[in-house]
Chain A
Amino acid sequence: MSKFSAGLKLGDLNDFIAPSQTCIVSLKGVKKNSQPEKGVIRMQERVQTTEQDTAPVKVTLHDCLACSGCVTSAETVMLEQQSVDEFLKQVSSAEKAVIVSVSPQSRASLASYYGITPLQALKKLTTFFKSLGVKAVFDTSCSRDMSLIESCEEFIKVYKAQGTSNFKGQKRGFPLLASSCPGWVCYAEKTLDASILSHISCVKSPQQAMGAIIKRFACANMGLKVDEVYHVTVMPCYDKKLEASRDDFVFSIEGNENNEQAGTARFTEVDCVLTSGEMLDLLQGRCSDFMLLDESPLDRMLTNVDESGHLYGSRGGSGGYAECIFRHAARELFNKELSSPLEFKTLRNSDFKELTLEVEGEVVLRFACCYGFRNIQNLVRKMKTGKCEYQFVEIMACPSGCLNGGGQIKPRKGQSGKELIQNLETVYLKEVNVSNPYENPIIKGLYDSWLDHPGSQKCLQVMHTGYHTREKNVASEISNW
């Protein structure tokens, strides 16, 4: 059974592969058949297969996605099992320095499971991973602050460019849609047309932002070259594995005099993704009692922990995009300082909430949080019929958002799904200070020393991405006859 989000389960997840639809990737490198002479019957020599020929052809998920997006349930099983094995292999081979970035949702999932705080969970995880040989354990709340800042800058740009000139060569209009959920992005690329895709924010997700930060810049501060780093993230869902394998997140480093090869070398921002559940399996398999693990000091370089040892980050189990951009826009565009917790208005159901800002009786900002497939359907409908009044929508594929991701640790015996989510919402911010991304000293430092300033040209190159409609090829359409 696939553990991917609803949008990915639909369509193309089809075990019936029609004859012409079989995976073509593995056939690359098949020997060419030369044309026989007309009128001559060619007798084919039986080819003796050698040991090497019978080695299984490996099709990576990357190859699969690059083809036509036909992800069968066989591939999802391969995908689901691949990550932990790969991770352990890398860690034990010690060829590369393994860096693990833990998401705050995964940390909360673990904290809830063991009844401890997120800080305790992250500290114990640091001990555990390092005992395996991991070099550093970081926190994606940190890179998330950069994603949030870039999203704020992007919003202001689009707001100001509204109806006027083109933005980035493409007419951008409202609503701007959050880009951090790969379940949503993959669904949009496969089923919606380019007109909807043009609304998706181009800012990278916290996972990919962390990958970019580590591999393109920060690893040097750790005395590592980019080809010496193996970056692993721990995430609340399986869809993040698909995100990590996107071609858009593969980059090349320009070669230098010493190494002509480097110009052609390609690196990926995130090498491996483990889900919270896989991380728990790993813990339970290798560690007799997680609760007895020491609490190691955190690796501060890319972790949101302040001088007094408190964790900090944005509010919102799905990243807090709507809230953060709303506050920033209120401040920058309307000079309104919104300090108290923002009041979301629940619409159809608790997975569809609205935020509005009124100035002199007129609604000037209207944002929404839209979680779950059915709500996404309604939002897309409104967009298609031109009835969408929102300027920004935080879209997430999973009902209740990322805390309820498909890869999170399952409820304990006797605990209902609803109880677990309520607990996760509380634990997520337990002893975590809510902070303004713009005030994150680590991120400020990254802008100062590397990316110049928020929204700069360098940011556009390194922290932004694009989307592509996945055209269905003829072969996959045959099953629709």
Chain B
Amino acid sequence: MTALLQHPGYEDESLQRVAEQLPCREAQSAVLLSLMGQPQQYSYPSIFIYGHRASGKSHVMHVLLRELELPHATLSCVECVSGALLFERVLLSLFGHEAAALLPRSASLSDFVRVYRQQCSLSPAEQTRFIVTELLRDADANLLPALLRLQELVEDNVTVVLLSEIAWDKFRPNTGCFEPLLLHFPDYSKGELQQILSQDRHPSYSADFYSSYINILLGVFYSVCRDLRELRHLAALNFSKFCEPVAEGKVKETDTHKLWRNIEPHLKKAMQTVYLREVSSLQWEQMQQMEEKETGVVRGLSAHTHIELPYYSKFLLIAAYLASYNPARTDKRFFLKHHGKIKKTNFLKKNEKTSNHLLGPKPFPLDRLLAIFYSVVDNRVAPTASIFSQISSLVTLQLLAQVSHEDQLDAPKYKCAVSMDFICAISRTVNFDIVKYLYDFL
């Protein structure tokens, strides 16, 4: 494998270190190395690397640049909320504090180019400078074209490496731009995952033991999850359970079959809870310790869906649900005392044959909400300020969603944002049979 990573201009020793830290990414790192050329040579202005989450994009870049001791700046577009912040970071890591301080406040791209040129004339590049950045789709429109041809703009030996989980096509500005070199990092195969995961073995157990554990783990989880990070997390969580029989002296390290029998149900259980992060890793560990007693099972996050609400808030929510899922024409049928006998077929329009629940909630004005509210609540309610403030607190609790803009004070519109199950539970607590009032279930 070291044979792959031979390149003039770099010491064999550091290349060796790189190779050790980048298992299963030899091909990609070799391509990158050849693109980078020798340190003093000019490299291609911009390289775009894409691949799924946890496919080693930034890891490869970091290791390469760190171990080969090349001048570089690493940043992320998530963090750099403004272009100015990004420019400052670049200057800071390439030229130090003094250079970064030269940037004016809220620096524009031209400021950045000016300062950069000024600095690089002071300290001309002996080696290719690298700027590695994770790219976001909603970044500034002017930023990307400029980064792509930064080498040209600043007339310096600089290469911009862009990392992304999304393919280049989604980024390409419609005005056209300098095309970067595209490099794809494919997903790790099962064997590669096995190899990588086996590396972080527990110090007190042998490597074979750990890799047999990883083998079992992958057998269970590979079908649902190929994300290296998640798998690593799962491996760390369940390992203590796996080596429990060994630690107790019941089973030898080599007896994989028995170990498999012991761990398999646990992994199955972990798939339901830990993988979805229903239960945090800390709680999972505690659960495993408690398991012998089989007492109170820790419930996941989604198990807690019950919400206590004030009495009128419940009715407001019910009214909102009715207003969202019933057509406004049918209000007369449900809430008027002498509505006469209207059959469903009579006011069924053609396009309404589909269930309203499949279409999702519809917006309704405040007036309608209050009208329904006053007719469903069983005693007389004065239209007090606290009724209205309850509506807005339901909005902040994200049980209602305001559809119209917040500035619109006159006749605001809302949507109900709770599920059928939730509203049924709520209406059960106030003895209100909501199904009788829903048009879909007539």
Are A and B interaction partners? Answer: no
Question: Which A residues are closer than 8 A to B by beta carbons?
Answer: none
